[in-house]
């Protein structure tokens, strides 16, 4: 291989890398990542921003989109023969965060993102963060179904979620830290 051929090949490689979306370069996280990377679907790719820090783990949970089942204990949903899916990943130390979760079929679901900062397997109001596809400010109330509803198509549905954390008396809100 000549130096000219090598440089030409390197230039093509750099051009391809630069033309790829940032999320594709960084990779999609989670045990369902192949469904998003390959575009197989139905799946949801959640691009998460606004993390408070890079500790603990990140989690996506997919529920049936109705008031009775939203945020219901997963053991109860499964026992009742209803759909529930969860993916967990260690919080990456740097870079963009894209998580993937498979849906059983195209349709309407409720999606919850949580940032489990303290490492315990229970949401800690004082420490942990949460987010939803609507990016509506959570405030001091329990999440409402309309905040979490997402329509999933036959391929990969992409949503952007801004993480929210407790911010004093106003309750949960994005940090506005530019992440």
Q: Which of 26-30, 35-39, 112-116 has the highest mean pLDDT?
A: 112-116
User: Which residues lie closer than 8 Å to 151 by C-beta, 6 or more apart?
Assistant: 107, 108, 157
pLDDT, tens only, 142-165: 899 999 999 999 999 999 999 999
Q: In what order do the strands lie in the sheet with 156-162?
A: 97-102, 43-49, 156-162
Sign of the Cα torsion 159, 104, 64, 154 reads positive
pLDDT, tens only, 57-105: 999 999 999 999 999 999 999 999 999 999 999 999 999 999 999 999 9
CA-nearest of 96, 90, 88, 99 to 55 is 90
DSSP calls for 142-161 = PPPHHHHEEEE-SSEEEEEE
Question: According to the model, what pLDDT value does residue 177 have?
Answer: 60
pLDDT band per the 50, 70, 90 thresholds, residue 27: confident
152 contacts 106 by C-beta, under 8 angstroms: yes
Q: Residue 174 has what DSSP assignment?
A: -
């Amino acid at each position: 291989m000549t130096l000219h051929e090598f440089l030409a090949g390197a230039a093509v490689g750099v051009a391809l890398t630069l033309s790829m979306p940032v999320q594709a370069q960084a990779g999609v996280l989670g045990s369902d990542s192949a469904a998003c990377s390959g575009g197989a679907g139905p799946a949801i790719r959640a691009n998460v921003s606004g993390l408070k820090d890079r500790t603990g783990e990140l989690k996506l949970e997919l529920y049936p989109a109705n008031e009775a089942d939203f945020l219901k204990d997963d053991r109860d949903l499964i026992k009742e023969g209803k759909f529930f899916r969860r993916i967990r990943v260690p919080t990456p130390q740097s870079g963009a965060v894209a998580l993937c979760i498979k849906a059983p079929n195209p349709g309407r679901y409720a999606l919850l993102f949580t940032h489990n900062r303290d490492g315990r397997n229970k949401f800690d109001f004082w420490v942990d963060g949460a987010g939803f596809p609507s990016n509506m400010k959570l405030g001091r109330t329990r999440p409402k179904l309309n905040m979490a509803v997402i329509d999933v198509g036959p391929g990969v549905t992409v949503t952007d979620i801004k993480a929210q954390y407790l911010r004093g008396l106003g309750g949960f809100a994005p940090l506005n830290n530019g992440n």
